[in-house]
Structure 1
Amino acid sequence: MPESKSRKKATYTPPPQKQAAKPNPRWWVPVMLGLMVVGLLWIVVFYIGRSTDGSSLPLPFLGTWNLAVGASLILVGFGMTTRWR
């Protein structure tokens, strides 16, 4: 009976190890929380500071776009939470 060819086994090479993710800088959490709090306060001040003559706080020339500014600050803070380690 004919002999089968012998197989050469490839040497085992382990997969490269993943490097551990670096922790965030110390300023990350205070900035993240600060943006969310400032955004919330911006919206609260906008609603409290509205007057009947159409002017509003915190920036009168923005009008109702003050809501967009506050929401944007909150969203940026929330986006930072996804990168928090």
Structure 2
Amino acid sequence: MAAAGKNLSKRQSGEVANKRAELAAARKDAPNPVWFKPVMFGFMLLGLLWIVLYYVTSTTLQLPVPAFGNSNILVGFALVIIGFLMTPWWK
């Protein structure tokens, strides 16, 4: 009796593994959500604008965040990098 139950659970776990593999394949082929591309390019452009705004105003106002000082450049590059890290998942 115990052996039959054991085989049944193995069969069920195999079926579950197959279903998971099918779902993973379907997700892999699925297109990106509508918001993905605008967010990706938005991060890239926001980072670029952040850096340009800092360079243009660095002698007077030091915008976008005066308290950051030269770290504004790092914030801008971080935003750009986030956008570029999203590109491998763009379909």
Q: When the two structures are superposed, what TM-score results if normalisation uses the length of structure 1?
A: 0.72
Residue ranges of structure 1 left out of the alignment (5+ in a row): 1-15
- Give the superposed CA RMSD: 1.7
Q: Counterpart of 1:37?
A: 45
SS of the residue aligned with 2:89?
A: coil
Aligned residues: 68
SS of the residue aligned with 1:51?
A: coil
Hey, which bits of structure 1, 4+ residues long, moved more than 6 A?
Answer: none
1:40-70 per-residue CA deviation (whole Å, 9 max, x = no partner) reads 0000000000116xx5111000000000100
> Which letter does structure 2 place at the counterpart of 1:31?
V
Q: Counterpart of 1:27?
A: 35
Q: Which has the higher helix share?
A: 2
Structure 1 residue corresponding to 2:81, chosen from 75, 78, 81: 75
Q: Offset of 1:23 from its aligned partner? A: 1.5
Q: Offset of 1:83 from its aligned partner? A: 1.1
Q: Which has the larger radius of gyration?
A: 1
Q: CA separation in 2, counterparts of 1:23 and 1:65?
A: 37
Q: When the two structures are superposed, what TM-score results if normalisation uses the length of structure 2?
A: 0.68
